[in-house]
Amino acid sequence: MTTAATTSANDAALAVQLMDLTSLNGHDTTTTITALIASIKSNWGLPAAICVYSNFVADAKLALAERELKQVKVATVTNFPKGDTPLNEVINETLIAIERGADEIDLVLPYQQLIAGDEALALEYVTASKDVCPEHVKLKVIIESGELKTSALIKKATEIAIAGGADFVKTSTGKVAINATLEASDVILRTIKASRKQVGFKVAGGVKTVADASNYLQLVANLMSEEYLTPRTFRFGASSLLADIYSSLEKQ
């Protein structure tokens, strides 16, 4: 096997373990979520989490338990996708999701208000959400970097997420024109590093191939370290990526 092929295979195997296998579609049903979990080929490794809408959290938990995959976390989203739900409703969404068994909450920052200059409101959403998460429930904050557009705003959103207690900063919802980019990821990672806090990073939206994943793995390793590339501090939010990973691994 060539050096390039070996690197690709290693990246594919690592990417499985770092993945939040995601289904956030308007047409999702219990059947589609169960099928998603059935698609996991445990011989190639397990994803870090399954990310679904809140009303499918219990279904995901059950499907994972039936496959004896309880170690796979279940994540859900709040204030999704536009980031403009009233805060009291977001907190209610969060509490219900936790009651259903969610291990991780992916909160959309009110990015439109941040663009308009309301940093205090953005911070309030993060802080209030973190406050209602028990210690075992991780909070990922989606800053929607593609809509923020400028490095300055991406940096500011990341700083707000960190200040509010985020366990992870996540690039995107996957529901806008521009989602994860290497350029935005560079800004987010440098901001996390400068904070000197143990905060993770999640890339979401547009990561569809092992080659895409490899680019992000290299960026993270260069900026943060190889040790950062664990599910505790780095994730891919993806759906179609898994199929390409399996295809790559099965060719080895």
Q: Is the pLDDT of residue 189 over 60?
A: yes
pLDDT of the residue at 1: 54
Handedness of CA 122, 22, 135, 198 (dihedral sign): negative
Average pLDDT, the chain: 96
Residue 179: DSSP 8-state: -
Candidate list 61, 73, 130, 202, residue with the active-site label: 202
Give the position of tokens 């976390």.
73
Catalytic residue among 61, 138, 140, 170: 170
When pLDDT is averaged across residues 145-170 and rounded to a whole number, the result is: 98
Rounded Cα distance between 95 and 101, Å, is 10
Lowest-confidence pick of 40-44, 161-165, 245-249: 245-249
pLDDT tens by residue, 8-65:
889 999 999 999 999 999 999 999 999 999 999 999 999 999 999 999 999 999 999 9
For residue range 94-106, what is the model confidence (pLDDT) as tens digits?
Answer: 999 999 999 999 9
H helix or E strand, kind and range, residue 22: strand 19-23
Q: H-helix or E-strand containing 78?
A: strand 73-78
Q: Which domains does the chain have, with CATH numbers?
A: 3-250 (3.20.20.70)
Contact status, residue 241 vs residue 212, Cβ threshold 8 Å: yes
Establish whether 170 is a catalytic residue. Answer: yes
Query: 145: Cβ–Cβ under 8 A, 6 or more apart, which residues?
Result: 154, 157, 171, 172, 178, 180, 181, 184, 187, 188
Residue range 88-142, pLDDT digits in tens = 999 999 999 999 999 999 999 999 999 999 999 999 999 999 999 999 999 999 9
Clarify whether 106 is annotated catalytic.
Answer: yes
Catalytic residue, from 20, 106, 167, 212: name it: 106
Given a contact cutoff of 8 angstroms between Cβ atoms, the answer to whether 195 and 167 are in contact is no
Name the CA radius of gyration of the chain, rounded.
Answer: 17
Q: Which residues contact 210 (CB under 8 A, 6 or more apart)?
A: 8, 11, 12, 15, 241, 244, 245, 248
Return the pLDDT at 182.
Answer: 98
**Collapsed DSSP state (helix, strand, coil) of residue 104:** strand
pLDDT digits (tens, 9 = 90+) for 217-242: 999 999 999 999 999 999 999 988 99
With a pLDDT cut of 90, the percent of the chain lying above it is 93
Estimate to the nearest angstrom the gap between the alpha carbon of 210 and the chain centroid.
17
The Cβ of residue 66 has, within 10 Å, a number of other Cβ atoms equal to: 12
